[in-house]
């Protein structure tokens, strides 16, 4: 099955308003009409509306970096899924490793966020990935399977098509050291097999599994060519329009092969 690649940029806590608008404008100009693959950008919350305005007539979708699971109320600092819909977000990242390991988010919390996102009609990107110590201890498959299984608790087969999974080994995020295509493919294939066990083989074939962790123009082609890598979640390189566009162009080449 040919799955449409998704290249998503996670801007993290970067850019000013003007930089965010300039970056988005540059992307619209360079890759805004591409239809062969899906493109998304996830700016910081305060710039969602401004970036949304810039990309609104392009094929670039808007995503958020996080969400809360309640509808509204006394949750200081949190942002609801309905608010993200209101800001025209399509995607939302759930369980990014920086939220797991810096903020301390648990699988249970991430699962609640994911369920709420789906209920509101958003497309969550569930991030999973092992720490370096876990890889060195031979625990990668166990850690990642647990994160996938717990993250998807209560997600029915009927709505599973709205979920994207991103395998992001923590040791590869922001370090410049990417997983090799073999290392990534091994884990991504395991995730797809697990989805087949939890749901069925049709869903396993449909679901997009992205790779994230130091994706850049120089390694994008070999990573995106792996059979179980259906796109990339890009951090650092998504802040430079030229680099992000080059990754998108590598994705285009792969999807045309
Ligand atoms: C990320 O933030 O999801 C990420 C993969 O970052 P980087 O590309 O900078 O490693």
For residues 21 and 51, give the distance between their C-alpha atoms in angstroms, rounded to a whole number: 6
* Mutation to probe ligand 1, out of 94, 213, 224 (largest number of atoms < 8 A from CB): 213
Q: What is the pLDDT of residues 42-94, one digit of tens each?
A: 999 999 999 999 999 999 999 999 999 999 999 999 999 999 999 999 999 99
State the pLDDT at residue 2.
Answer: 79
For residues 233 and 185, give the distance between their C-alpha atoms in angstroms, rounded to a whole number: 15
What mean pLDDT is predicted for residues 241-252? 98
Contact indicator for 66, 92 with CB cutoff of 8 Å: yes
Q: H or E stretch including 191?
A: helix 181-198
Crossing angle, helix 241-256 and helix 217-224, to 10 degrees?
20
Beta pairing partners, 178? none
For residues 107 and 104, give the distance between their C-alpha atoms in angstroms, rounded to a whole number: 10
Cα dist. 172→68, 93, 110 in Å? 27, 18, 21
**Out of 130, 134, 168, 246, which one is annotated catalytic?**
168
Contact indicator for 223, 232 with CB cutoff of 8 Å: yes
Looking at domain 6-256, its CATH superfamily turns out to be: Aldolase class I (3.20.20.70)
pLDDT confidence tier of residue 246, bands split at 50, 70 and 90:
very high
CA 188 to chain centre: 14
State the pLDDT at residue 257.
Answer: 84
For residues 152 and 100, give the distance between their C-alpha atoms in angstroms, rounded to a whole number: 16
| Residue 1 clears pLDDT 60, i.e. is over it | no
Q: What is the pLDDT of residues 98-124, one digit of tens each?
A: 999 999 999 999 999 999 999 999 999
For residues 92 and 17, give the distance between their C-alpha atoms in angstroms, rounded to a whole number: 20
Atom of ligand 1 minimally distant from the CA of 173? 10
Instruction: Find where tokens 């949750």 sit.
Output: 75
For residues 243 and 135, give the distance between their C-alpha atoms in angstroms, rounded to a whole number: 29
For residues 249 and 108, give the distance between their C-alpha atoms in angstroms, rounded to a whole number: 37
Residues having CB closer than 6 A to ligand 1 are 10, 12, 168, 173-174, 212-215, 233-237
Q: Is 121 helix (H, G, I), strand (E, B) or coil?
A: coil
The pTM (predicted TM-score) of the whole model is 0.98
Write down the H helix ranges in the chain. 17-31, 48-55, 81-86, 97-98, 107-119, 132-136, 140-151, 181-198, 201-206, 217-224, 241-256
Q: Whose CA is nearest to atom 3 of ligand 1?
A: 235
| Residue 158 clears pLDDT 80, i.e. is over it | yes
Question: Residues 148, 149, 151, 155: is their CA dihedral positive or negative?
Answer: positive
For residues 7 and 221, give the distance between their C-alpha atoms in angstroms, rounded to a whole number: 12
Question: Residues 166, 172, 175, 178: is their CA dihedral positive or negative?
Answer: negative
Q: Whose CA is nearest to atom 7 of ligand 1?
A: 235
């Amino acid at each position: 099955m040919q799955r449409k690649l998704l290249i998503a940029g996670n801007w993290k806590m970067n850019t000013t308003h003007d930089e965010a608008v300039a970056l988005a404008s540059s992307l619209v100009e360079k890759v805004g009409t591409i239809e062969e693959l899906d493109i998304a950008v996830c700016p910081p919350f305060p710039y969602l509306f401004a970036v949304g305005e810039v990309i609104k007539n392009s094929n670039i979708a808007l995503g958020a970096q996080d969400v809360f699971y309640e509808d509204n109320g006394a949750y200081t600092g949190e942002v609801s899924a309905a608010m993200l819909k209101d800001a025209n977000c399509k995607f939302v990242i759930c369980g990014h490793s920086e939220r797991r390991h810096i903020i301390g988010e648990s699988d249970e919390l991430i699962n609640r966020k994911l369920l709420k996102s789906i209920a509101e009609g958003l497309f969550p990107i569930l991030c999973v990935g092992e720490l370096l110590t876990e890889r060195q201890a031979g625990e990668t498959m166990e850690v990642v399977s647990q994160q996938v299984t717990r993250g998807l608790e209560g997600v029915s087969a009927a709505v599973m098509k709205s979920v994207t999974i991103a395998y992001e080994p923590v040791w590869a995020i922001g370090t410049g050291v990417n997983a090799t295509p073999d290392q990534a493919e091994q884990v991504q294939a395991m995730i797809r097999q697990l989805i087949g066990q939890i749901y069925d083989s049709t869903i396993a074939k449909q679901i997009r599994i992205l790779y994230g962790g130091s994706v850049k123009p120089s390694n994008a082609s070999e990573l995106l060519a792996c059979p179980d890598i259906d796109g990339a979640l890009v951090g650092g390189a998504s802040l430079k329009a030229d680099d992000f566009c080059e990754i998108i162009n590598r994705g285009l080449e792969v999807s045309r092969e």
